[in-house]
Amino acid sequence: MPERRQYLIEALPARDPEIGRWLWMIDDARRRTRRALDGLDERAVDWQKTAEGHSIGTLLYHIAAIEIDWLGTEVLESKLPSHVWDHFPYEVRDEQDQLMHVPGVSLADHWQRLDFTRALLMDTYQQMSLEDFRRARVLEAYDVTPEWVLHHLCQHEAEHRDEMIALREGAQKSLGLE
């Protein structure tokens, strides 16, 4: 008989258990990304299907940059320490509004940046009250809550994870890494 599985959402440590459940969800999105890229050959990190296409490294950088931008701009209302941006030497997009290609960065360095960003996000949200979690931040073009930001970041990472899985498969075939 197969092992019985449980599919449960458990609250991670947070000031409010509701926020802790959301933190579990975003943590689960990252676990799935790590699992999708487990054992990835370094040669596949910068591989692109076309010269204009994305690479896994570019997408990992993009995921971290978007996460820190939403955290700093929307959630913390532009009160993120400026030194945080030192971890992001590239612009997110180029002059043609395409994701900036981020070559020559090891997978370990991408994970380190993602871990740094996630630690800041977790620390911020763990200290947040439920009232602040649901308080709309009023920006020039839109209103947004930290709750919605977590929803968006989970979706964003999941969408790019699928793209990275396809890139991994293409790199393995193209580079003979199977």
Q: Could you give the CA distance from residue 26 to residue 22 in angstroms, rounded to a whole number?
A: 6
CATH number of 17-36+57-175: 1.20.120
Burial of 36 (0-12, 13-18, 19+ CB in 10 A): middle
Q: What is the pLDDT of residues 29-61, one digit of tens each?
A: 999 999 999 999 999 999 999 888 899 999 999
Q: What is the pLDDT of residues 122-173, one digit of tens each?
A: 999 999 999 999 999 999 999 999 999 999 999 999 999 999 999 999 999 9
Q: What is the average pLDDT score of the chain?
A: 95
Query: In angstroms, what is the C-alpha Rg of the chain?
Result: 18
pLDDT over 90 (residue 178): no
Question: Do 149 and 75 contact (CB within 8 A), yes or no?
Answer: yes
CA 121 to chain centre: 11
Question: Do 133 and 75 contact (CB within 8 A), yes or no?
Answer: no
Q: Could you give the CA distance from residue 126 to residue 178 in angstroms, rounded to a whole number?
A: 41
pLDDT at 51: 81
Give the pLDDT band (50/70/90) at residue 177: confident
- The residue among 58, 31, 33, 30 whose CA lies nearest residue 44 is 58
Question: Do 71 and 120 contact (CB within 8 A), yes or no?
Answer: yes
pLDDT at 109: 98
What is the pTM assigned to this prediction? 0.95
pLDDT over 90 (residue 119): yes
Overall average pLDDT of the 60-75 stretch = 98
Give the pLDDT band (50/70/90) at residue 6: confident
